[in-house]
């Protein structure tokens, strides 16, 4: 479930690419807080503390903006293409008890039948849950499932208070038996060489 992480924030007054680059040089991350019909709030967050806080998906932050606290859910993270450092955050204001929609990962448990292979088609699914009790994942138990099985969204194990927002008959994973390797021309070449070798021995 979501852990509240408190982070100090300062209001951002300078905008544009140059100002954003300077902020990052000062070890700060530009962010915008929006939601509930209020005007967006542009802030700067401490880089190291914030980067640690958003390592997990759907991180929930409590921002201290000049003494006023804002609880916000991380909705989008922009990262540097090469360094993969956090360049910018979009944060959605939420309230305790409020239901929000998030995407969570599918966690697979168990082993399929011997000789069969699992193909996970949906790595994440959309769910609705209370803002301060967001699940990190939903569980898909595949123990003993056999080739030809389609495992549906209705079979996902959801934490209490969490609702699935995709059709129950959505295929989450399939189970199949891998096709045998095709030797192709190599096998044919090997067969052709055998008679030639036999003919040479006869001479």
pLDDT grade for 203, boundaries at 50, 70 and 90:
very low
71-104 per-position pLDDT tens digit: 999 999 998 888 888 999 999 999 999 999 999 9
- pLDDT at residue 142, rounded to an integer: 97
34-80 per-position pLDDT tens digit: 998 889 999 999 999 999 999 888 999 999 998 899 999 999 999 88
Mean pLDDT calculated for residue range 154-159: 96
- pLDDT at residue 45, rounded to an integer: 95
- pLDDT at residue 174, rounded to an integer: 98
Full DSSP string of 57-90:
TT-EEEEEETTEEEEEEEEEEEE-TTT--EEEEE
Cβ atoms within 10 Å, residue 86? 21
Which residues, 6 or more positions from 52, have their beta carbon under 8 angstroms from its beta carbon? none
- What value, to the nearest 5°, has the Cα angle with vertex 112 and ends 150 and 137? 75
The three-state secondary structure class of 16 is: coil
**Residue found by looking up tokens 């003919």 in the block:** 199
Q: What backbone phi and psi angles, to 5 degrees, belong to 134?
A: -85, 130
């Amino acid at each position: 479930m979501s852990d509240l992480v408190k982070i100090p924030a300062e209001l951002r007054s300078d905008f544009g690419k140059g100002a954003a680059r300077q902020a990052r040089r000062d070890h700060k991350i530009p962010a915008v807080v929006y939601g509930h019909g209020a005007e967006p709030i542009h802030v700067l967050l401490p880089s190291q503390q914030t980067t640690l806080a958003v390592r997990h998906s759907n991180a929930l932050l409590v921002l201290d903006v000049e003494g006023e606290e804002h609880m916000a859910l991380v909705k989008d993270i922009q990262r540097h293409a090469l360094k993969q450092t956090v360049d910018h955050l979009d944060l959605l204001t939420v309230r305790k008890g409020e239901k929000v929609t998030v995407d969570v990962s599918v966690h697979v448990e168990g082993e399929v039948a011997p000789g069969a292979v699992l193909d996970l088609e949906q790595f994440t699914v959309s769910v609705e849950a209370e803002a301060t009790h967001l699940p990190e994942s939903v569980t898909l138990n595949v123990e003993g499932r056999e080739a030809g099985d389609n495992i549906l969204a209705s079979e996902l194990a959801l934490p209490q208070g969490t609702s699935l927002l995709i059709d129950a008959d959505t295929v989450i994973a399939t189970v199949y038996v891998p096709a045998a390797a095709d030797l192709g021309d190599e096998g044919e070449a090997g067969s052709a060489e055998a008679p030639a070798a036999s003919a040479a021995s006869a001479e």
